[in-house]
Structure formats: C-alpha cells, structure tokens
Structure 1
Amino acid sequence: MASRRNLKKNVNYISDLIAGLCIVESMNAKDENREELSKLFLQAVNLRQDIISRISHTEPGNVKGFYKKLKEDFNNGTQTIFKKLEELGK
C-alpha cells in the first residue's frame, strides 16, 4: 500500500503544480485568454480526480499493464495541458 500512497502523493503534487501554473497565468493573461485558462484548470483537476480514483481501484490480474496505461494517460494529459498553457502564454 505504501507505493500506492506515494503514487497518489506524486500525482497530487504534479496536479497542484499544474493548477498553480494555470492560476498564475490567468492573473497575467488578457481577458479573452482567461476563459481558456479556467478550462485548463478544470481539466487539470479532473485529470487528478480520474487518476487518483483509478489508483484506488486497481484492476486485478493485469496490474503491470494497468499501471503502464495509467502512467501513459497521466503523462499524455499533463503534456496536453502544458502545451495549451504554452500556446496561451505566447
């Protein structure tokens, strides 16, 4: 259980970092970009909730494949959020 606990802590840390970046960017953004930044913030929160709930309910039988898919989904989700943040920051 300790590894699940550490994994949840790491997911929370990365998600909080992403949410914080969205908030900081929205403070410095133009009015038309704030709507998009609030959507990115909600996307980060939803990604966090999804990943944490999936960690809590691990698939029996295919644990290695389950965590591999979980890692890919989390990495893809964070990368898309960071790309959108970068586009809006320009």
Structure 2
Amino acid sequence: MANKRELKRSINYICSDLFAETVAASLYDKKASKENLEALLASILIIHDDFIRRVSYPEPGLAPKAYYKAIIEDFNKQVSEIIDHIQNL
C-alpha cells in the first residue's frame, strides 16, 4: 500500500465498475428481478461507504500495516462475492 489516497481511489474505481457491471447485466438480462438488482446495488454502495470510512478512520491500537492488509483482504473477499452475485443475475 503506497498511501491512503491510492487505496481510496482503488476502492472507488472497483466499486464504480461493479455498479456499472450490475446495471449492464440487468439491462441485458430481462429475467433479473428488480428486488435482487436493487439489493445488489445497495450492497455495493454499502461496501464502498464502509471501506472508505475504514481507510479514513483507522482503529487505534492496531499496527497500520496489519490493519490495512486486513482491509484489503476483506475488500477483495466482498468484491468476489459481489462478482458471483452479478454472474448469477
């Protein structure tokens, strides 16, 4: 991790790409239910907000390197879950 700014940019880019992919998948697949689509879009926004907040305000008492490494691992895990949901639309 170079710095917080680059980590926030990466989170922003990934979340915006996920959002765009979800919208595109819903437009091309007419079978997708509106409730599932809205829940998936809401979860992307919640993940974005949560991780930006976690990067901005680190928990006191934890080593910075371990803290940010844990954030990156958690983010990658949640992104892979979102990708699986997009594929199943």
Query: What code does the residue aligned with 1:8 have?
Result: K
CA-CA distance at 1:37 after TM superposition: 1.7
Q: Name the structure 2 match of 1:39.
A: 39
What TM-score do the two structures reach when normalised by structure 2? 0.86
Q: What is the rounded CA distance, in whole Å, between the counterparts of 1:35 and 1:29 in structure 2?
A: 14
CA distance in 2 between counterparts of 1:32 and 1:26 reads: 6
Offset of 1:72 from its aligned partner? 1.2
Tell me the matched-pair count.
87
Please, what TM-score do these two structures have when normalized by structure 1? Answer: 0.86
Consecutive unaligned residues in structure 1, runs of 5 or more: none
Task: Report what 2:79 is aligned to.
Answer: 78
Range with greater deviation from structure 2 (28-37 or 79-88): 28-37
2:63 equivalent in structure 1: 62
- What is the deviation of 1:29? 2.5
Rounded to whole Å, the distance in 1 between the matches of 2:3 and 2:70 is: 17
SS at match of 2:3: helix
Alignment CA distance shift 1:83-1:32 (3 Å): closer
- Mapped to 2, the partners of 1:38 and 1:23 lie a distance apart of 10
- Structure 2, gaps ≥5 residues long: none
Q: 1:53 matched to which residue of 2? A: 53
